[in-house]
Homo-oligomer: A and B are copies of this chain.
Amino acid sequence: MDDDSWVPPAVLIAVDLVIFTLRESRLQVLLVERGVDPFRGALALPGGFLAHAEEDLLAAAHRELAEEAGFAADQLHLEQLSVYGTPGRDPRGRVVSVAYLAITPRLPEPVAGTDASDAWWIPTDRALSPDTRLAFDHRRIVADGVERARTKLEHSALATAFCPPLFTISELQEVYEAVWGVRLDPRNFYRKVQSVNGFIEPAGPVRKTENGRPARLFRPGPRQALHPPMNRPPEPGASERRPI
């Protein structure tokens, strides 16, 4: 196997961003239309190659976040999702891509300062449908991101990242319903979410108007990991419970 002339192969490193938000009560992902040729015209996740050999992966992700989606550097929390390095995944050569997950509160219609081609918020179920053509293996990356978001909602305070700095419990419930794709009982949700340690805390006796009775406002609590976790209702598909 080894001989003296062997040197390890060098490959290209890319970062891809799965940026989620909530719009129209649906989980949506930011996609850009590719203007250059591998998959020109197809939708793709924001991302790109490392700028130089000394650039940190997370720094590259933040740079792409600013360049392609107009988000200020540390405006958003980025979390590593997974790595995608199958040899054939990029026709230009061997590319290993590190995917990052980011969450943002509701934003004004299009995306702020898009540098490159146009960027759109696309509902994840539409992005994942076979009708939508996504570049590279980005359909799988989006699917992994959705799955990650779903489980993180159970065990972490991630849901508050979808909300503005002050939010009502109904708004928080909307996040859970959209990401999990289920309906939850507002009364039980109300109780549950307040019984979990430092998940959310009251933000003054302030209130807010809309249609019915004004709701109290809350802000994210100090606790990042939720104990006990939020309970995701079981999928109706599989038969649960032991036979005896």
User: Which residue numbers of A lie inside 8 Å of B, CB to CB?
Assistant: 1, 8-14, 49-57, 80, 82-83, 85-87, 94, 96, 98, 151, 155, 194-197, 227, 234, 240-242
Q: Given A80-B82, A85-B98, A98-B85, are A9 and B242 also a contact pair (CB < 8 Å)?
A: no
Q: How far is the CB of A38 from chain B (nearest CB, A)?
A: 13
Query: For A1, what are the chain B residues with a Cβ–Cβ distance below 8 Å?
Result: 51
B11 touches A87 (CB 8 A): no
B11 touches A11 (CB 8 A): yes
Q: How far is the CB of A99 from chain B (nearest CB, A)?
A: 10
Residue of B51, B57, B87, B227 near A83 (CB, 8 A) is: B57
A11 touches B53 (CB 8 A): yes
A12 touches B13 (CB 8 A): no
Residue of B54, B155, B242 near A195 (CB, 8 A) is: B242
Query: For A86, what are the chain B residues with a Cβ–Cβ distance below 8 Å?
Result: 56-57
Per the bound structure, the CA–CA distance linking A82 and B53 in Å amounts to 20
Contacts A/B (CB < 8 Å), 11 sampled: A8-B12, A8-B14, A10-B12, A55-B87, A56-B85, A56-B87, A57-B85, A80-B83, A85-B98, A196-B242, A197-B240
